[in-house]
Chain A
């Protein structure tokens, strides 16, 4: 199993550009989430999904869109990039069953908006 994969690893955008961060998991997990991690702020939840076709907002959803058309994929779209979106983005997935509720994280995408 590859686990949770994210592409790209690094990205530089100009203000106003749009892009999609890709996230895929091969563990057949129902739950998937996107977080951003900024220095001194910890991990903050952007959007999450409890299954294909179902998404919801987290703590910091503004400026981001998500969709979940398949169990495996959960892309995060930046509609019009702003310098405030410079961050490291992590995708995570979790099984609906299991005793530990363990979240599996991807390796992250480091995004810089100039």
Chain B
């Protein structure tokens, strides 16, 4: 069956360090993968999309990699700040164009000063 796995344990890091979150999937051939941020009591907010034929995407302090051979995406936040503390969700789409998204359960990131 199809599965998306994100670390269920919270990731604790110190301010200024690079946070790396993992999204692994099985039995998918995703056309693209997205990362969302969710703060407590709020809806998810879109951060980045990476397509199946892309290896890496960057946006300011964020970097996403996509390895379709390993079936894995890594999400990096460089120079992390306490304001980056949130839950980060990865989501996969099977098709380009319109496709429903399947979400992972998310990983909580805690950045301490």
Contacts and interface: CB of A to CB of B under 8 A. Distances in A.
Given A41-B105, A90-B43, A90-B44, A101 B100 contact: no
A50 B45 contact: no
A50 B95 CA distance: 14
Interface residues of A, number: 27
B9 to A, nearest CB: 12
B44 to A, nearest CB: 5
Contact of B101 (A96, A103, A104): A103
A89 B92 CA distance: 20
A21 to B, nearest CB: 14
Interface residues of B, number: 22
Given A102-B46, A103-B46, A42 B105 contact: yes
* Centre residue among B8, B44, B93 by max chain A CB count within 10 A: B44
B61 interface: no
B89 interface: yes
Given A42-B89, A101-B49, 9 more contacts: A40-B8, A40-B105, A45-B100, A90-B43, A92-B43, A101-B32, A103-B46, A107-B42, A107-B43
